[in-house]
Structure 1
Amino acid sequence: MVGFIGYGNMGSMLIRKFIEEKALKPQEIIVSTRTKSKLQNLKEIYKDINIAEDNKDLAKRAKYIFICVKQPEVKGVLDEIKDFLDSDRHIISLAGAITIENIEKIFPGQVSKVTPTVLSEINEGVTLIAHNEKVKEENKKYIESLFEKISKVKRITEEDFPFAVEITSCAPGFLSSIFNEFMKSSLKHNKTLREDEVKDMLVYTIYSTAKLIYERNLAFEDVIEKVATKGGITEEGVKVLEKHLTPIFDEVFEKTLEKRRMIKEKADELFKS
């Protein structure tokens, strides 16, 4: 049985998508959360899904245990269930700042770290996965097969997570911010088209550009060359972007990676006590 401790945004999305894409049947899932009322609607939709009495009950019944709670709560959950975890159990943590090493201080068994993506809502995007050396090969394949139903899976080392998360899990937010500013600026120079019309054209152009790059295996420079002909209008805009965007993105990565480091330090402190 596959257990989910926590039923927030990510936990609820994974449960729903795994069922929708037939990666799991409702009767193969057991869920635990502090606020039981959150699960009433889930039980109404999926009558065969299992609702645990508490986290300990879930740990007794589930072989695979997804920890979907907020990062400050992870240690408390692990302390609560540790006496019910044997070598056959497999912990899958979604808490980005909690290292596998910290989890192993409480449960020295099979541990995987996963960073899903909001793009799994449409069965797209990249899910990052790292396993410790104790995870059995069949269990690696099983966990990865679940996420392959709703995304592309990239197995990496835990050391690569901070940077890889920026370009997968965080990127939809970054890109949306960029194109939101692009749209707002474009509206300043337009007196006739409505905002919804501009958004519709822009979103479809973004989608089509990404599809072109992906399906034709093009470099970004290939698209620029196709559109920004020498001496043309697009070239003028590209020059401005190339001049100003590099330092902006340097600062983005500096700020986010530093914030990630600070959050990790706080998480490490929790596991010292």
Structure 2
Amino acid sequence: MGIIGIVGYGSMADMMVQKWLEAGVLSARQLMIHTRREAERLKQLTQHHQDIKRCSIDQLAASCDLIFICVPPLAVLDVLDQLNQTKASTHIVSVAAAVTLDKLEKHTDQPVSRYIPTLTSAVGTGVSLVAHSEKVGKKEQEHLHRLLSAFSIVREIGEDRIDAASNLTSSSPGFIAAIFEEMAKAAERNSRLSLDEAYEFLTYALLGTGQVLVERGLTFAETVDRVATKGGITGEGAAVIKQQAPAMFDDLFTQTLNKYEHLKAQVDKTDKHH
């Protein structure tokens, strides 16, 4: 698998590293990490895995076959500019939203890919979205896909669809949590259930629904049909959702896709090569 470099060590970088080590996909001595901030999670990691090398960005650039840039969107291009000592074959992967392949390619001659992670990979599931520049060969693609497969399903997607897809993979755990937070509060307001009881009941219902969908291969509509008997209570509730939810979800996509465009404009502003 060669030497893997990580620039920036936030929660997503930590999730990736922990999963690779747990699965035995990488050994600690194959990992090099450069970060400007002294994160507690990195201290704990290096205490448990002393062979992980913390290093300067130049050392990382000179040694690694694959580099993940795990910094916020507005810092990505600056990091790319600093990675000017890389080997010709080094594959660079950006984990940030809204920094397009086109932008990345203006700042490096290396093969570049984008990877959109998801929180659910912390429990070994979820979809990892990837998009590759034309310079990324089959071998590099397979290497990256193999690494990400250690904790997720990997799906390659065209960049023109990546923002909407990110809503459904990367952002949706937050959206789902927000929706069910409101459902739990409604249960508390409209019944004698406590909020804690509502959280518990909904959490296990969510877990079970996900398993049924995956293991039985059901669609959402089929699941509604299985639970809702004709003229019954579930059907009554599902009808309310069908009537009121489309407008909410249309707004959600409008707002989030606008936010991506706003972020891309901010990246443009900070881009010295623009």
- The TM-score with structure 2 as length reference comes to 0.94
Deviation at 1:37, TM superposition (A): 6.3
CA displacement, residues 86-118 of structure 1 (integer Å, 9 cap, x when unaligned): 321110100111111111112122101000110
Q: 1:42 aligns with which of 29, 40, 45?
A: 45
Which amino acid letter does the alignment assign opposite residue 264 of structure 1? Answer: K
Which amino acid letter does the alignment assign opposite residue 4 of structure 1? Answer: I
Deviation at 1:269, TM superposition (A): 2.6
Which amino acid letter does the alignment assign opposite residue 44 of structure 1? Answer: Q
Q: Which range is displaced more, 210-219 or 177-186?
A: 210-219
Aligned to 1:253: 253
Aligned to 1:96: 97
Which amino acid letter does the alignment assign opposite residue 267 of structure 2? Answer: A
Counterpart CA distance in 1 for 2:239 and 2:71 is: 45
Counterpart CA distance in 1 for 2:220 and 2:80 is: 44
Kindly report which structure 2 residues correspond to 1:261-272, keeping only aligned pairs within 5 A, or say none: 261-272=261-272
Counterpart CA distance in 1 for 2:185 and 2:106 is: 49
Which amino acid letter does the alignment assign opposite residue 262 of structure 2? Answer: M
Query: Once the two structures are aligned, what percentage of the paired residues are identical?
Result: 34
Contact map agreement 1:115 1:165 (CA 8 A) in 2: yes
Counterpart CA distance in 2 for 1:37 and 1:259 is: 28
Contact map agreement 2:62 2:87 (CA 8 A) in 1: no
Deviation at 1:266, TM superposition (A): 1.2
Counterpart CA distance in 2 for 1:237 and 1:268 is: 46
SS in 1 for 2:112: strand
Kindly report which structure 2 residues correspond to 1:1-273, keeping only aligned pairs within 5 A, or say none: 1-36=3-38, 38=40, 39-52=42-55, 54-82=56-84, 84-191=85-192, 193-273=193-273
Counterpart CA distance in 2 for 1:236 and 1:220 is: 17
CA RMSD of aligned residues (A): 1.4
Structure 2 portions without partners, runs of 5+: none
Deviation at 1:232, TM superposition (A): 1.6
Counterpart CA distance in 2 for 1:232 and 1:36 is: 56
CA displacement, residues 63-89 of structure 1 (integer Å, 9 cap, x when unaligned): 11110111111121111122x123211
Deviation at 1:262, TM superposition (A): 0.8
Deviation at 1:36, TM superposition (A): 4.5
Counterpart CA distance in 2 for 1:171 and 1:238 is: 20
Counterpart CA distance in 1 for 2:14 and 2:57 is: 16
Counterpart CA distance in 1 for 2:187 and 2:173 is: 21
Which amino acid letter does the alignment assign opposite residue 97 of structure 1? Answer: A
Which amino acid letter does the alignment assign opposite residue 154 of structure 1? Answer: R
Structure 1 portions without partners, runs of 5+: none
Counterpart CA distance in 2 for 1:186 and 1:117 is: 29
Counterpart CA distance in 1 for 2:50 and 2:175 is: 38
Counterpart CA distance in 2 for 1:36 and 1:236 is: 53
Counterpart CA distance in 2 for 1:118 and 1:255 is: 21
SS in 1 for 2:83: helix
Contact map agreement 2:114 2:131 (CA 8 A) in 1: yes
Superposed structure 1 runs of 4+ greater than 3 Å apart: 36-40
Contact map agreement 1:116 1:169 (CA 8 A) in 2: yes
Number of aligned positions between the proteins: 270
Which amino acid letter does the alignment assign opposite residue 52 of structure 2? Answer: I
